[in-house]
Structure 1
Amino acid sequence: MHVGIFGGSFNPPHTAHLIVAEHIREAGALDRILWIPAARPPHKPATGLVAPHHRLAMTRLAVAGNPAFDVSDLELHRDGPSYTVDTVRILQDEQPGTTFTLILGGDSFRDFATWHRPDEIIRRVPLLVYDRPGTRYDDVPERFRTRACFVDAPLLEISGSDIRTRIREGRSIRYLVPEPVRRYIETHGLYR
């Protein structure tokens, strides 16, 4: 089985996440996508980050109904920052017969050299990078570029920060997030 590791804050998970994940699953010939909400993303400020249990619940609601999508709470059980290298080690130890690929957006790939133990990550798993057509990565070290497969992703201007702003301003987020996620946000009064 070939599984794509799709980590992120998912604060909240939105329609663009779903579209990109399905596109990447097909383009990368992946059997499954494993969505992993980070407890404490090391490269993002904690400002505006709702509690991990809410992000986990919303991610589960977002992917429900797609049999190729699973959600893991693996990073929510660890203390400290959610380092990808630790997640990859654990997944490989727990599922030795599974081939894993790490899914990254182009912005994350550009910063990959600053990640915790990036050389160990690329020794363990290849990278599947999605971004806009024509994006260049000349500043990314060659040792990382040679371990990456690049896939053009659909151009979608939806972001978690915009969704959070819209909620604070009392504006609609309908169709920006799956309806069960919208209801969950409303029920729990998130991002106000």
Structure 2
Amino acid sequence: MDIGLFGGSFNPPHVAHLVVAEIARDQLGFDEVWWIPNATPPHKSHDELAAVEHRLAMTRRAIADNPSFRVSEIEVGREGVSYTVDTLRVLQDEHPDTDFGLLLGSDSLDHFGEWHRPDEIMERVPLVVYKRPGIIEDVPEPRFANRVRFVSAPVMEVSGTEIRSRRRAGRSIRYLVPETVRSYIREHNLYRGTEMDGE
């Protein structure tokens, strides 16, 4: 099988995540895309990070209607920081006949050389990179160039930061996240929003 690995904080999962994952699956012929919520992401501030059980539950709801998507809990139970290279080692040991590709945004590619053991990651899997707003499609470090494949996805200026900000201000997040995710956020009053969101 060919599997796309889509890791992230998913804080919360939103419509741009879904578009990118589906277009990458379609363009590169992945049999499935595995969504991997981070327990303790190494590159994110924890100030606004919802508890991992909430982010896991929201991710499950976000992808529920796509049979080619599934959630992996491989990083949820891991103690300490979730490093991509550790996840790849485990998955490749468990699925030796599977070819994986790692999905990430081009903003992450700009800093990929700063990741934990980037050269080992590149030896293990190709990077499937989707364009983020304001980012030029270029590979900053030439040694990575032959292991990067770009995805022609629509550029959607939707971010978790924007969604959390709108929640804090009591503004609508309708259509920025799947309705099942919006309902979950309201039910659990995540991101310090108000009960009037989207009404």
Q: Is the 8 A contact 2:131 2:137 kept in 1?
A: no
The 2-side partners of 1:129 and 1:149 are apart by 6
Q: Which runs of 4+ in 1 moved over 4 A?
A: none
Identity percentage over the alignment? 59
SS at match of 1:191: helix
In structure 1, the residue matched to 2:196 is none
The runs of 5 or more residues in structure 1 that have no matched partner are none
* Alpha-carbon offset, residue 132 of structure 1: 5.3
| 1:50 matched to 2:50 | yes
Residue type at the aligned position of 1:40: T
The 2-side partners of 1:132 and 1:174 are apart by 22
| TM-score, normalised relative to structure 1 | 0.96
Q: Is the 8 A contact 1:16 1:156 kept in 2?
A: yes
In structure 2, the residue matched to 1:116 is 116
After superposition, residues 24-173 of structure 1 pair within 5 angstroms as 24-131=24-131, 135-137=136-138, 140-173=140-173
Q: Is the 8 A contact 2:13 2:59 kept in 1?
A: yes
Q: Is the 8 A contact 2:105 2:132 kept in 1?
A: no
The 1-side partners of 2:80 and 2:138 are apart by 30
The runs of 5 or more residues in structure 2 that have no matched partner are 193-199
The 2-side partners of 1:132 and 1:87 are apart by 24
Give per-residue Cα distances to partners, 1:113-167, cap 9 Å, x unaligned.
00000000011111111115982425x2112121111122211111101100111
Residue type at the aligned position of 1:94: E
| TM-score, normalised relative to structure 2 | 0.93
* Length, aligned pairs only: 191
* Alpha-carbon offset, residue 111 of structure 1: 0.6
The 2-side partners of 1:15 and 1:82 are apart by 24
